[in-house]
Structure 1
Amino acid sequence: MVSALAFAYFLSKVSDTVTLPLLNIPQSELVLRSDNVFLLRQAGLSPELLIFRDQLDLRALERAGRLRLTLVDHNVLPSSDSYLEEAVVEVIDHHLLEREPNPTCSVTVEMVGSCATLVTEHIIQKAPEILDQQLAQLLYAAMVLDCVNMDPAAGKVTPKDSQYAAALERRFPTLPPRGALFQSLQNAKFDVSGLNTEQMILKDMKVVSETFNVAISVLYITLEEFFQRVGLEAELSSCCQKFGFDLLILMTISFTESREPIRELAVFSQSSRCREQVCQFLEQSCSPALDLRPISTPLPHISAYHQGNRLASRKKLLPLVKAFLKEQSGDRCPGPGEEEESDVPPTPMNSLVEGCPLNEGLPQISAQDLQEKFSKLEGVDL
């Protein structure tokens, strides 16, 4: 969100093109991003200024030749968005490069800890005069959270992240203290109070697809707490059926009293064969080795593990899942009690890295409303 807001603001200041930050989630899902809502409030930005994926008809804009897309924090479009490919003119990302070279698309991909670091680099090198306290606070907060308080022991921060975080600190000495800022964002991110099981799964989820769909969700409670939820397997099964998931991987993150991270992993599928194949692949993985140690679970369709490799976040798990899917290409997981293919519609996903539902109807925001939002954004001291 910060990368989209900041880079769109940068582009609007250095060009005459109307540039808008588009958040690739439905408006209804903002409530699931508790850390985002907290940061917006801290930075003095109203959520009403934001523009969401279900408020614009990108297909109509693309067909009219009125769309140019810059991708931030991902570098490839999912197959469901392939029709937008010709509109992509720039990419800024910190994930593994999967995009095919294209002379019409400028690509900046570097494996730093935070995409906000690369956006900050662009701004400082090309338009440092637009930086103010508010914009710096947004970028700084994203870096601090993504890089786990810039702690090398967490395995996320790189020298470039540290370089640009320090540059913002020097230029804006009144930024919130790093430790306090990280803790407040972490507390907001881990706040799952009031969320049902489906919302907890959707809160921080990526989906990868080949011949079947795998959702990978980060949970901010322990597996022991999660397994105590009444009717859990029925809720997980319902969620998978609703969104078309063949398999669900749950990666938990919690902390000891001394703030040491604890990671656990659970694999859910109604198909025993599918679940066992994924578990075996992850158990035998060497790059990276997850160091999985089985833990008991009372739920028959879930395999659970303590993850010894605390540095292996979902960012490092995703390539393993993609490798598994490619290896299993053509061997689709059967549904519960059947071997035939499911007629479940395509998965609605909440991250453009792996996919997102499209609103095929008329846009829910009028041209006048859009111009109004843009005018308000221009008037905000971002």
Structure 2
Amino acid sequence: MEDYLQGCRAALQEFRPLHVVLGNEACDLDSMVSALALAFYLAKTTEAEEVFVPVLNINRAELPLRGDNVFFLQKINIPESLLIFRDEIDLHALHQAGQLTLILVDHHVLPKSDAALEEAVVEVLDHRPMEQKHCPPCHVCVELVGSCATLVTERILQGAPEILDGQTAALLHGTIILDCVNMDVKVGKATPKDSKYVEKLEALFPDLPKRNDIFDSLQKAKFDVSGLTTEQMLRKDQKTIFRQGTKVAISAIYMDLEICGVLERSHSPSLKLTPAPSAHPHLQAYLQGNTQISRKKLLPLLQEALSAYFESMRIPSGQLETEGVCREQADRELDRAGNSLFPGLSQDEEEPPLPPTPMNSLVDECPLDQGLPKLSAEAIFEKCSQISQSQSATASLSTK
């Protein structure tokens, strides 16, 4: 695997057609490993001199936010420097030059910003429910198993088991075990096919780590935030929803940061919120007493609140048009505030059909205040204030 990845980086320097294996935008362990392993398999089994390159669908700077990815790469001795990230390859330019074909793994819906790339998609390998109206017209393999890595393992073992090396086998083995919660039948994540291919990998590579050991190590690394800055913690596993140019972002910081007062009145679900002291009149944070309510469960509540807000803001017929102008200006102010808190969010990005975190993520089932470093409300306010001041200073300089 390591030698193969070195060749991939070298291939980027050559102007030649590329077959890119692209994971999803969450780039969790399953997405990363599936892209790496499938591209490796295709490169080893294609007779023609074609180049198959795995691309991680995040910027390189975002990798530290995925602790289990970083830990596993180090454990398997794959240098991060060999990986190719989305900000290191211009897929749109390659497509316009007629030099790109895409293979999607662990997702089958491209975001609005990548809509032009859909015609370059030649294959899909995924393990989540199909959205027929969005799926590209190409060869599609979708099966509802616990881990997409299971489908990649099946592809390799049925097609060319001899190309499987220890590094790739270890990556696939650990990923399936993490996604399927250590194959625990009580949890119900693992399917018979997941179990079958974990056992096959263990039979082929007897020196693979014990299931309990690798699961515990990856689980611990996944929730280890000790090396993250405050801003990185705000962005870690962030979820967003979009309504008419307005963005609402939810970040798990072992207490949920919200900008919607409707949460205080929520009884279904009951969040048990306690306002945290704030010196900033336009910033409110809460301590969430009910730690069993995940961000995915909060999304419908926020969507309902946003819909109600925009319904109430409709301009009655005959009302002065200037009010609409003021409202548009207020929307722009809210958008700028959102950008200062969560830089990098695209205003043109559509609401994703599924939350960015894959359906089999363990993040949403993790109690948010157990066994993890605490982040004070004061630290959050300080960081947000610094970001706001930085944005104001930049705006001031640009007007001079």
TM-score > 0.5 by shorter chain = yes
Pairing partner for 1:43 from 73, 76, 91: 76
Quick check: 1:165 aligned with 2:198?
A: yes
TM-score, normalising length from structure 2?
A: 0.63
CA distance in 2, matches of 1:8, 1:333: 50
SS at match of 2:252: strand
Structure 1 residue 78: Cα displacement: 0.9
Letter in 1 for 2:345: T
Quick check: 1:328 aligned with 2:307?
A: yes
- Shift >6 Å, 4+ stretches: 351-355
Q: Which protein is richer in helix relative to its size?
A: 2
Aligned match of 1:250: 252
Pairing partner for 2:261 from 267, 272, 291: 272
Structure 1 residue 210: Cα displacement: 4.6
Letter in 2 for 1:123: I
Letter in 2 for 1:294: K
Q: Deviations over 1:82-138 (max 9, x none)?
A: 111111111112223225376841122222221111111111222222222211100
Cα 1:333–1:196 change in 2 (3 A) is farther
Aligned match of 2:60: 27
Matches within 5 A, 1:136-147: 136-147=169-180
Cα 1:119–1:292 change in 2 (3 A) is farther
CA distance in 1, matches of 2:102, 2:312: 35
Matches within 5 A, 1:230-241: none
CA distance in 1, matches of 2:160, 2:132: 27
Q: Deviations over 1:269-303 (max 9, x none)?
A: 1x425x56xx85xx64xxxxxx6452534354437
Cα 1:141–1:338 change in 2 (3 A) is farther
Cα 1:308–1:51 change in 2 (3 A) is closer
| Greater RCO (Cα-Cα under 8 Å, separation 6 or more) | 1
Aligned match of 1:200: 233
Pairing partner for 1:127 from 148, 152, 160: 160
Unaligned 5+ segments in structure 2 are 1-31, 278-283, 314-325, 357-400
Cα 1:92–1:200 change in 2 (3 A) is same
Q: Contact between 1:4 and 1:23, CA under 8 Å: does it hold in 2? A: yes
Aligned match of 1:367: none
Q: Contact between 1:2 and 1:142, CA under 8 Å: does it hold in 2? A: yes
Structure 1 residue 33: Cα displacement: 2.2
SS at match of 2:228: coil
CA distance in 2, matches of 1:34, 1:317: 24
Q: Contact between 1:268 and 1:303, CA under 8 Å: does it hold in 2? A: no
CA distance in 2, matches of 1:24, 1:122: 22
Letter in 2 for 1:86: E
Q: Contact between 2:105 and 2:126, CA under 8 Å: does it hold in 1? A: yes
TM-score, normalising length from structure 1?
A: 0.66
CA distance in 2, matches of 1:13, 1:184: 30
Aligned match of 2:224: 191
Matches within 5 A, 1:47-126: 47-100=80-133, 104-126=137-159
Unaligned 5+ segments in structure 1 are 214-244, 253-264, 285-290, 356-382
CA distance in 2, matches of 1:172, 1:131: 10
Q: Which has the larger radius of gyration?
A: 2
Structure 1 residue 66: Cα displacement: 1.0
Q: Contact between 1:32 and 1:199, CA under 8 Å: does it hold in 2? A: yes
Pairing partner for 1:347 from 345, 348, 363: 345
Structure 1 residue 80: Cα displacement: 1.3
Structure 1 residue 268: Cα displacement: 0.5
Aligned match of 2:276: 298
Structure 1 residue 46: Cα displacement: 1.3
| Number of equivalences | 292
Cα 1:47–1:322 change in 2 (3 A) is farther
Structure 1 residue 305: Cα displacement: 4.6
Quick check: 1:2 aligned with 2:64?
A: no
Cα 1:174–1:94 change in 2 (3 A) is same
